[in-house]
A and B are shown apart, each in its own frame.
Chain A
């Protein structure tokens, strides 16, 4: 049986504070599930261990997002590389410092 767990409650319980800056420059405080997760890249023939940060949040909080928007978590400002709505109210953001 699927567990019906409202997105808002999930973020309230497990989320961290973030500042979303929309493409027009407007800032808003939102909750995100932040993951600075490990990733491995291949550049040429060489593998590189590095970090691939991402965040999940309410789609309504980032409805205006495009790749000129930013997300600040723990005083680090991330650019948004990819915006991936799940169609069920949450959006997954792929982040980068550069």
Chain B
């Protein structure tokens, strides 16, 4: 049964949008980041040569914060839902350039409709940062957060 919880609808919409990040998409993306999209990944990503799940986009909704209450009957509450994201890639000799492209793709995907088909008022993008590790391959991670602003009836989110 489809969810009636608004924040879950938003997460589902964000995940679905992320999966459209493919070079074949008419929007025009650099990468195929949408091939491996995970929400609340609780296991390690695989990059052992037998299975490769990289590049990957991992989404973690971490905080939902009420920011405004508007009087009315019934009152309307405005919340912001923070979704942390991480892009993990083993980009080979192209290193950072490929990861930059994936970040740009991710932001471009958000920008195609920051209301997530009218589920939200807007989506704001926070700063992003890089992390590295080197084993058999060089691993590059980029991370950041987006904040989705949405409204619902007070005490009644669905």
The majority secondary structure among interface residues of chain B is strand
Contacts A46-B45, A51-B48; is A41 near B133 (CB within 8 Å)?
Answer: yes
Bound state CA distance, A40 and B142, in angstroms?
A: 18
A96 to B133, CA, bound (A): 11
Q: How far is the CA of A52 from the CA of B134 in the complex (A)?
A: 9
User: In angstroms, how far is the closest chain B Cβ from the Cβ of A33?
Assistant: 17
Total number of B residues with any Cβ neighbor in A under 8 Å: 31
The segment out of B64-72, B75-83, B85-93, B105-113 that lies at the interface is B85-93
Q: How long is the Cα–Cα vector from A10 to B54 in the complex, in angstroms?
A: 38
Interface residue count for A (Cβ, 8 Å)?
Answer: 22
B88 touches A97 (CB 8 A): no
| Interface flag for A43 (CB, 8 Å) | yes
Residues of B within 8 A of A38 (CB): 48
A96 near B45: Cβ-Cβ < 8 Å: no
* Cβ–Cβ contact A46 & B138, under 8 A: no
Contacts of A97 in B (CB 8 A): 136-137
Q: Is B127 an interface residue (CB 8 A)?
A: no
In the assembled complex, A44 has its CB within 8 A of some CB on chain B: yes
Interface string of A29-61 (1 = CB under 8 A from B): 000000010111111111111111100000000
Tell me, in angstroms, the Cα distance from A37 to B54 when the chains sit together.
19
Q: Quick check: is A74 within 8 A (CB to CB) of the other chain?
A: no
User: For window 1-57 of chain B, which residues contact chain A by CB distance below 8 Å?
Assistant: 41, 43-49, 54, 56
List 9 tightest A-B contacts by C-beta distance, closest first: A43-B141, A47-B44, A51-B136, A52-B135, A41-B133, A50-B47, A44-B141, A49-B44, A44-B143
B binding-site residues for A, Cβ under 8 Å: 41, 43-49, 54, 56, 58, 60, 84, 86, 88, 90, 92-93, 131-143
Some 30 contacts from A to B, beta carbons below 8 A apart, are A36-B136, A38-B48, A40-B44, A42-B133, A43-B131, A43-B133, A43-B139, A44-B86, A44-B88, A44-B141, A44-B143, A45-B84, A46-B45, A46-B86, A47-B44, A47-B45, A48-B44, A48-B46, A48-B47, A48-B88, A48-B139, A49-B44, A49-B47, A49-B48, A50-B48, A50-B90, A50-B135, A51-B135, A96-B138, A98-B134
